[in-house]
């Protein structure tokens, strides 16, 4: 039985990866110290997700271990001897990073280095998948030519119609403190791939979402927006007239891509992982779609000041992913994603 180590195993992507590979017959070992509860309070607590995974999958084991604990991580990876590692653990919030920069960098950058070096000392042959972020591009996408439409911003140049490619610059831009710490992890994962010839990849995620997301105001755009609709909470829009655009990918499609990568790993690769143009949506468009599904109008208030470094329009170009892994594609459209998340929140509210 192959063994997979998943960090951040109680989070959205981590838990989806756990379930996906457990069902494929892998022995899955999860690491999660529930720092999300520390970062976001009770609303961010993921204990329920850890319990769910342990109840549903006999070939899954959970370990409460902090990736900042360098010696413990080195010893743990050597002891369990995994066949692959998927690193999803992170401090994910722009706003929180600005108020807790040491915690943010220690988790996102130092924690990633700890895992990479622990992996190298154990084996340079096993695949290492890192969940990076599109925020590594900083605010450079905002300097593209944009056009304002009725309910969204969009790219004016045809070259960007299908979105941002992996060759887009990550340098000389405002990233937010969170974006900068993720850049550090991203570049280090690439460097271990190139310098030590390890099979590594960085998945620069757009809006990663799904029904198991514990969305909060500071992180988890789509999940939190739908939660607000389900519970009658006032949603706050920050700038850009509510027309800012994100492409959304279901956590299941993320796990499926990781499966394809582990079948045929490459070294020091980078992929922009998102829903692409077909799964792109603005905040105003998201209000309309969830209202159609739930039958309830969205309650919101508008704040003219945008979040610093926030993207006005971001769509992931998926061409490279599909070229390298032609058996992978998006399987969950926006209506399906919204419906699944809405039903999940309704069940949790009860």
- Parse the chain into domains and list their residue ranges: 3-349
For the chain, which ranges sit under pLDDT 50? none
Q: Are strands 128-133 and 84-87 parallel, antiparallel or unpaired?
A: parallel
- E strand or H helix at 181: helix 176-195
CA distances from 210 to 15, 93, 156, 181, 239 (A): 11, 18, 30, 25, 25
Q: Which two tokens stand for residue 254?
A: 């993320």
- Sheet-wide strand order for 84-87: 60-63, 27-31, 3-7, 84-87, 128-133, 200-205, 269-273
What proportions of the chain, in percent to the nearest 5, are helix, strand and coil? 45, 20, 35
Q: Could you tell me which of 121, 12, 257 has the C-alpha nearest to residue 113?
A: 121
Third-level CATH fold of 3-349: Rossmann fold (3.40.50)
* CA dihedral for 172, 174, 178, 179, sign (positive or negative): negative
Closest C-alpha among 309, 179, 290 to residue 244? 309
pLDDT at 350: 66
Rama region for 304: left / alpha / beta (φ>0; ψ in -120 to 50; rest): alpha
- Is the separation of the CB atoms in 138 and 94 below 8 Å? no
CA 348 – CA 342 distance, rounded (Å):
10
Contacts of 184 by beta carbon, 8 Å cutoff, 6+ apart: 105, 108, 109, 112
């Amino acid at each position: 039985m192959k063994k997979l180590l998943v960090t951040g195993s109680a989070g959205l992507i981590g838990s989806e990866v756990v379930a996906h590979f457990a069902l494929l017959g892998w022995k899955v070992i999860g690491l999660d110290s529930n720092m999300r509860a520390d970062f976001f309070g009770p609303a961010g607590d993921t204990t329920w997700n850890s319990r769910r995974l342990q109840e549903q999958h006999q070939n899954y084991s959970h370990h409460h271990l902090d990736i900042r604990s360098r010696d413990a991580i080195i010893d743990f990876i050597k002891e369990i001897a995994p066949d692959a590692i998927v690193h999803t653990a992170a401090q994910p919030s722009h706003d929180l990073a600005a108020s807790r920069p040491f915690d943010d960098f220690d988790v996102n950058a130092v924690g990633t280095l700890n895992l990479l070096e622990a992996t190298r000392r154990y084996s340079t042959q096993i695949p290492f998948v890192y969940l990076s972020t599109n925020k590594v591009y900083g605010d450079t996408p905002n300097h593209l030519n944009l056009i304002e439409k009725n309910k969204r911003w969009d790219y004016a140049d045809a070259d960007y119609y299908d979105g941002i490619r992996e060759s887009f610059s990550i340098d000389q831009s405002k990233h937010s403190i969170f974006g900068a710490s993720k850049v550090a992890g991203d570049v280090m994962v690439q460097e271990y791939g190139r310098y030590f010839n390890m099979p590594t990849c960085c998945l620069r995620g757009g809006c990663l979402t799904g029904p198991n997301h514990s969305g909060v105001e500071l992180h988890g755009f789509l999940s939190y927006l739908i939660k607000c609709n389900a519970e009658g909470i006032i949603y706050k829009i920050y700038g850009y007239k509510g027309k800012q655009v994100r492409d959304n990918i279901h956590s299941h499609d993320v796990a499926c891509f990781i499966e394809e990568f582990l079948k045929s790993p490459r070294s020091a690769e980078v992929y922009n992982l998102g829903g692409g143009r077909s799964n792109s949506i603005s905040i105003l468009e998201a209000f309309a779609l969830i209202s159609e599904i739930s039958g309830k109008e969205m309650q919101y208030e508008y704040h003219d000041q945008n979040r610093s470094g926030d993207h006005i329009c971001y769509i992931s170009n998926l061409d490279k992913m599909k070229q390298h892994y032609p058996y992978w594609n998006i399987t969950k459209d926006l209506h399906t994603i919204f419906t699944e998340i809405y039903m999940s929140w309704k069940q949790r509210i009860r």
